[in-house]
Amino acid sequence: MSIDLTGKTALITGASRGIGEAASRILAGYGANVVLAARSTGDTARIAAEIGGQALAVTCDVARYADVDTAVKKAVEQFGSLDILVNNAGVIDPIARLAESDPEAWGQIVDINFKGVYHGLRAAIPVMKKNGSGVIINMSSGAATGALEGWSHYCATKAGVLSLTRCAHVENAADNIRVVGLSPGTVATSMQRSIRDSGVNPVSQLDWARHITPEWVGEAIAWLSTDAARGHDGGDFSLRTEEARRAVGLID
Protein backbone atom coordinates (compact mmCIF):
# COMPACT_ATOMS: atom_id res chain seq x y z
CA MET A 1 0.00 0.00 0.00
CA SER A 2 1.35 3.40 -0.96
CA ILE A 3 0.93 6.25 1.52
CA ASP A 4 2.28 9.68 0.65
CA LEU A 5 1.97 12.43 3.26
CA THR A 6 4.54 14.71 1.68
CA GLY A 7 3.76 18.35 2.40
CA LYS A 8 1.36 17.49 5.24
CA THR A 9 1.97 18.60 8.82
CA ALA A 10 0.88 16.43 11.74
CA LEU A 11 0.66 17.34 15.42
CA ILE A 12 0.86 14.31 17.72
CA THR A 13 0.12 14.65 21.43
CA GLY A 14 1.65 12.26 23.96
CA ALA A 15 4.55 11.83 21.54
CA SER A 16 7.33 11.07 24.03
CA ARG A 17 6.87 7.28 23.94
CA GLY A 18 4.66 4.39 22.91
CA ILE A 19 2.01 5.04 20.28
CA GLY A 20 2.84 8.75 20.02
CA GLU A 21 6.51 8.13 19.32
CA ALA A 22 5.75 5.36 16.83
CA ALA A 23 3.19 7.51 15.02
CA SER A 24 5.63 10.43 14.82
CA ARG A 25 8.34 8.29 13.26
CA ILE A 26 5.96 6.53 10.86
CA LEU A 27 4.18 9.67 9.66
CA ALA A 28 7.57 11.30 9.08
CA GLY A 29 8.61 8.21 7.15
CA TYR A 30 5.67 8.80 4.82
CA GLY A 31 6.85 12.36 4.22
CA ALA A 32 4.91 14.39 6.78
CA ASN A 33 6.28 17.17 8.93
CA VAL A 34 5.67 16.14 12.53
CA VAL A 35 5.21 18.19 15.69
CA LEU A 36 5.82 16.08 18.78
CA ALA A 37 3.89 17.40 21.78
CA ALA A 38 4.43 16.27 25.37
CA ARG A 39 4.55 17.79 28.85
CA SER A 40 8.36 17.93 28.66
CA THR A 41 10.72 17.86 25.71
CA GLY A 42 13.29 15.53 27.25
CA ASP A 43 12.34 12.57 25.08
CA THR A 44 10.58 14.36 22.23
CA ALA A 45 13.61 16.55 21.51
CA ARG A 46 15.73 13.42 21.11
CA ILE A 47 13.12 11.76 18.89
CA ALA A 48 12.73 14.89 16.78
CA ALA A 49 16.51 15.14 16.35
CA GLU A 50 16.60 11.52 15.19
CA ILE A 51 13.81 12.18 12.68
CA GLY A 52 15.52 15.29 11.35
CA GLY A 53 14.52 18.72 10.04
CA GLN A 54 10.92 17.75 9.37
CA ALA A 55 10.28 17.29 13.12
CA LEU A 56 9.70 19.77 15.93
CA ALA A 57 9.34 19.09 19.67
CA VAL A 58 7.03 21.34 21.68
CA THR A 59 6.07 21.48 25.34
CA CYS A 60 2.36 20.88 25.74
CA ASP A 61 0.15 19.82 28.62
CA VAL A 62 -3.09 18.85 26.89
CA ALA A 63 -5.02 19.58 30.10
CA ARG A 64 -4.26 23.27 29.45
CA TYR A 65 -6.00 24.76 26.43
CA ALA A 66 -3.41 27.53 26.11
CA ASP A 67 -0.66 24.91 25.69
CA VAL A 68 -2.55 23.08 22.94
CA ASP A 69 -3.40 26.31 21.14
CA THR A 70 0.27 27.33 21.28
CA ALA A 71 1.34 23.93 19.88
CA VAL A 72 -1.03 24.37 16.94
CA LYS A 73 0.30 27.87 16.30
CA LYS A 74 3.92 26.61 16.41
CA ALA A 75 3.08 23.89 13.89
CA VAL A 76 1.70 26.49 11.50
CA GLU A 77 4.59 28.89 12.09
CA GLN A 78 7.22 26.19 11.53
CA PHE A 79 5.70 24.28 8.64
CA GLY A 80 2.98 26.52 7.19
CA SER A 81 -0.10 24.44 7.98
CA LEU A 82 -1.74 21.89 10.23
CA ASP A 83 -3.24 19.02 8.25
CA ILE A 84 -3.37 16.14 10.75
CA LEU A 85 -4.01 16.14 14.48
CA VAL A 86 -3.52 12.95 16.49
CA ASN A 87 -5.16 13.28 19.91
CA ASN A 88 -3.12 10.51 21.50
CA ALA A 89 -2.20 11.76 24.98
CA GLY A 90 -3.88 9.68 27.66
CA VAL A 91 -3.29 8.05 31.04
CA ILE A 92 -4.86 5.29 33.13
CA ASP A 93 -3.07 5.54 36.49
CA PRO A 94 -4.18 5.39 39.22
CA ILE A 95 -6.30 2.30 38.59
CA ALA A 96 -8.82 2.03 41.44
CA ARG A 97 -12.37 0.97 42.19
CA LEU A 98 -14.78 3.90 42.50
CA ALA A 99 -15.22 3.60 46.26
CA GLU A 100 -11.45 3.68 46.75
CA SER A 101 -10.55 6.28 44.10
CA ASP A 102 -8.88 9.62 44.77
CA PRO A 103 -11.29 12.36 43.60
CA GLU A 104 -8.46 14.72 42.64
CA ALA A 105 -6.62 12.06 40.65
CA TRP A 106 -9.90 10.99 39.00
CA GLY A 107 -10.48 14.57 37.94
CA GLN A 108 -6.96 14.87 36.52
CA ILE A 109 -7.66 11.88 34.26
CA VAL A 110 -10.72 13.71 32.95
CA ASP A 111 -8.60 16.80 32.27
CA ILE A 112 -6.08 14.80 30.21
CA ASN A 113 -8.10 12.05 28.53
CA PHE A 114 -11.32 13.96 27.81
CA LYS A 115 -10.74 17.70 28.03
CA GLY A 116 -7.37 17.23 26.33
CA VAL A 117 -9.14 15.89 23.24
CA TYR A 118 -11.63 18.77 23.34
CA HIS A 119 -8.72 21.20 23.57
CA GLY A 120 -7.16 19.64 20.49
CA LEU A 121 -10.39 19.85 18.54
CA ARG A 122 -11.02 23.42 19.61
CA ALA A 123 -7.55 24.59 18.65
CA ALA A 124 -7.20 22.68 15.38
CA ILE A 125 -10.63 22.95 13.75
CA PRO A 126 -10.53 26.72 13.02
CA VAL A 127 -7.07 26.34 11.45
CA MET A 128 -8.14 23.38 9.33
CA LYS A 129 -11.34 25.15 8.30
CA LYS A 130 -9.28 28.10 7.10
CA ASN A 131 -7.02 25.71 5.16
CA GLY A 132 -10.03 23.97 3.59
CA SER A 133 -9.30 20.46 4.90
CA GLY A 134 -7.87 18.40 7.73
CA VAL A 135 -7.86 15.06 9.51
CA ILE A 136 -8.30 14.58 13.25
CA ILE A 137 -7.69 11.15 14.77
CA ASN A 138 -8.84 10.60 18.34
CA MET A 139 -7.38 7.63 20.18
CA SER A 140 -10.28 5.56 21.41
CA SER A 141 -10.64 2.20 23.15
CA GLY A 142 -12.98 -0.72 23.59
CA ALA A 143 -13.40 0.78 27.06
CA ALA A 144 -15.50 3.51 25.43
CA THR A 145 -18.40 1.08 25.13
CA GLY A 146 -17.59 -1.34 27.96
CA ALA A 147 -17.29 -1.39 31.74
CA LEU A 148 -14.19 -2.68 33.48
CA GLU A 149 -13.45 -2.94 37.18
CA GLY A 150 -11.04 -0.25 38.36
CA TRP A 151 -11.30 1.67 35.10
CA SER A 152 -14.24 4.01 35.74
CA HIS A 153 -12.08 7.03 34.87
CA TYR A 154 -10.73 5.47 31.68
CA CYS A 155 -14.04 3.99 30.47
CA ALA A 156 -15.93 7.21 31.14
CA THR A 157 -13.38 9.47 29.45
CA LYS A 158 -13.05 7.22 26.40
CA ALA A 159 -16.85 7.16 26.09
CA GLY A 160 -16.71 10.94 26.15
CA VAL A 161 -14.05 10.97 23.44
CA LEU A 162 -16.22 8.75 21.24
CA SER A 163 -19.06 11.24 21.61
CA LEU A 164 -16.71 14.13 20.81
CA THR A 165 -15.62 12.31 17.65
CA ARG A 166 -19.22 11.92 16.53
CA CYS A 167 -20.12 15.55 17.32
CA ALA A 168 -17.03 16.93 15.61
CA HIS A 169 -17.79 14.86 12.51
CA VAL A 170 -21.37 16.14 12.35
CA GLU A 171 -20.24 19.74 12.70
CA ASN A 172 -17.24 19.69 10.36
CA ALA A 173 -17.65 17.08 7.63
CA ALA A 174 -19.15 19.68 5.29
CA ASP A 175 -15.93 21.69 5.63
CA ASN A 176 -13.83 18.69 4.49
CA ILE A 177 -12.50 18.12 8.00
CA ARG A 178 -12.41 14.41 8.74
CA VAL A 179 -12.73 13.26 12.36
CA VAL A 180 -12.30 9.59 13.21
CA GLY A 181 -11.59 7.48 16.28
CA LEU A 182 -9.03 4.69 16.45
CA SER A 183 -9.57 1.79 18.83
CA PRO A 184 -6.36 -0.26 18.63
CA GLY A 185 -7.03 -2.98 21.20
CA THR A 186 -4.30 -3.76 23.70
CA VAL A 187 -0.86 -2.36 22.83
CA ALA A 188 2.57 -3.23 24.25
CA THR A 189 3.29 0.11 25.95
CA SER A 190 4.08 1.39 29.44
CA MET A 191 0.34 1.86 30.01
CA GLN A 192 -0.16 -1.85 29.48
CA ARG A 193 2.57 -2.56 32.04
CA SER A 194 0.67 -0.44 34.58
CA ILE A 195 -2.47 -2.40 33.81
CA ARG A 196 -0.65 -5.69 34.29
CA ASP A 197 0.92 -4.52 37.56
CA SER A 198 -2.49 -3.50 38.94
CA GLY A 199 -3.81 -7.05 38.80
CA VAL A 200 -7.33 -5.61 38.44
CA ASN A 201 -9.85 -7.00 35.90
CA PRO A 202 -9.16 -9.55 33.13
CA VAL A 203 -7.11 -7.19 30.94
CA SER A 204 -4.30 -7.27 33.51
CA GLN A 205 -4.09 -11.05 33.08
CA LEU A 206 -3.52 -11.04 29.31
CA ASP A 207 -0.33 -12.64 28.04
CA TRP A 208 2.11 -9.97 26.84
CA ALA A 209 2.39 -11.71 23.47
CA ARG A 210 -1.26 -10.85 22.76
CA HIS A 211 -0.59 -7.10 22.68
CA ILE A 212 0.11 -5.48 19.32
CA THR A 213 3.10 -3.19 18.80
CA PRO A 214 2.91 0.62 18.86
CA GLU A 215 4.21 0.53 15.30
CA TRP A 216 1.05 -1.25 14.14
CA VAL A 217 -0.99 1.57 15.65
CA GLY A 218 1.28 4.13 13.98
CA GLU A 219 0.64 2.49 10.62
CA ALA A 220 -3.11 2.60 11.29
CA ILE A 221 -2.84 6.32 12.08
CA ALA A 222 -1.01 6.91 8.80
CA TRP A 223 -3.68 4.99 6.87
CA LEU A 224 -6.52 6.84 8.60
CA SER A 225 -4.88 10.07 7.46
CA THR A 226 -5.56 9.13 3.82
CA ASP A 227 -8.72 9.27 1.72
CA ALA A 228 -8.82 5.47 1.72
CA ALA A 229 -10.20 5.62 5.27
CA ARG A 230 -13.04 8.09 4.62
CA GLY A 231 -15.65 5.40 5.17
CA HIS A 232 -14.78 5.37 8.87
CA ASP A 233 -15.24 9.10 9.46
CA GLY A 234 -17.36 9.93 12.48
CA GLY A 235 -16.90 6.54 14.10
CA ASP A 236 -14.34 4.28 15.71
CA PHE A 237 -12.01 2.25 13.51
CA SER A 238 -11.16 -0.93 15.43
CA LEU A 239 -7.78 -2.49 14.74
CA ARG A 240 -8.79 -5.73 16.44
CA THR A 241 -10.24 -7.43 13.35
CA GLU A 242 -8.40 -9.15 10.52
CA GLU A 243 -10.37 -7.06 8.03
CA ALA A 244 -9.10 -3.83 9.59
CA ARG A 245 -5.53 -5.05 9.80
CA ARG A 246 -5.68 -6.09 6.16
CA ALA A 247 -7.02 -2.67 5.14
CA VAL A 248 -4.11 -0.97 6.88
CA GLY A 249 -1.65 -3.38 5.27
CA LEU A 250 -0.49 -5.06 8.46
CA ILE A 251 -1.40 -8.55 7.25
CA ASP A 252 -1.91 -10.12 3.83
Is 154 annotated in the active site? yes
Contacts of residue 246, Cβ cutoff 8 Å, sequence gap at least 6: 252
CA distance 14 to 20: 5
Contacts of residue 244, Cβ cutoff 8 Å, sequence gap at least 6: 220, 237, 238
Contacts of residue 76, Cβ cutoff 8 Å, sequence gap at least 6: 9, 82, 127
Bridge partner list, 37: 13, 58
Set 30, 65, 118, 154: catalytic member: 154
CA distance 211 to 214: 9
CA distance 86 to 21: 11
Please give the positions annotated as active site: 154
